[in-house]
Amino acid sequence: MMSAEPVNGRGVAAVVDLWARRASEAVPSVAVRVHRSGSWTVVEVEGEMDVQVVALVADLVGVDTTRVVFDLQRVTFMDAAGLSAVGGSIRHRAMGAGGSVRLVAPSRSARRLLMLAGCARVFPAFDSLEEAMSAPLGTGSTRSARGR
């Protein structure tokens, strides 16, 4: 189940319930918030970034986006499909148009997958949203390749 709604005029937020509620269990979900900040589209992900997030992120970001920042500091789990959401068609469109896809403070789980997949150097990662958006295009990461 997915719901999407405007967020203070800044963009759209969507929440996806990944599993039906079971008696006395918390419902795992992911929240995705998308908003514009200057020339950047900011995608904040909180929770599990897996196959159910790919289409949602693509829908919320749109096709004309050339500068995207993924804030991954609250990602609790990320698999190959989650990596695809970051590095798939959004990245190809952005790079093809001379833009960029950047990461902000990937969580330990996200950082581990990026390292295992050999993508840590492909996606510039920054310590803060401000750093990610203010660094010139083509600028590398402020985070070490091994993370913190």
How do the domains of the chain map onto residue ranges? 2-17+27-134
CA torsion 64-74-132-99 (nearest 10°) is -20
Q: What is the average per-residue pLDDT within 79-95?
A: 86
Q: What is the pLDDT of residues 96-145, one digit of tens each?
A: 888 889 999 999 989 999 999 888 778 889 999 999 999 988 665 555 33
Locus of tokens 């203070």: 8
pLDDT band at 147 (very low <50, low <70, confident <90, very high): very low
In the predicted structure, residue 28 carries a pLDDT above the cut 80: no
Query: What proportions of the chain, in percent to the nearest 5, are helix, strand and coil?
Result: 30, 35, 40
51 within 8 A of 81, measured Cβ to Cβ: yes
Q: Is 87 helix (H, G, I), strand (E, B) or coil?
A: helix
Q: What is the average per-residue pLDDT within 7-35?
A: 59
pLDDT at 133: 94
Please state the separation of Cα 5 from the chain's center in Å.
18
Give the up-direction half-sphere exposure of residue 15: CA atoms within 13 A in the CB hemisphere.
7
pLDDT at 60: 81
pLDDT band at 148 (very low <50, low <70, confident <90, very high): very low
Q: What is the pLDDT of residues 37-78, one digit of tens each?
A: 988 999 999 998 888 788 788 888 877 788 999 999 999 999
In the predicted structure, residue 27 carries a pLDDT above the cut 90: no
- Fold type of domain 2-17+27-134: Transcription Regulator spoIIAA (3.30.750)
pLDDT at 7: 46
pLDDT at 10: 53
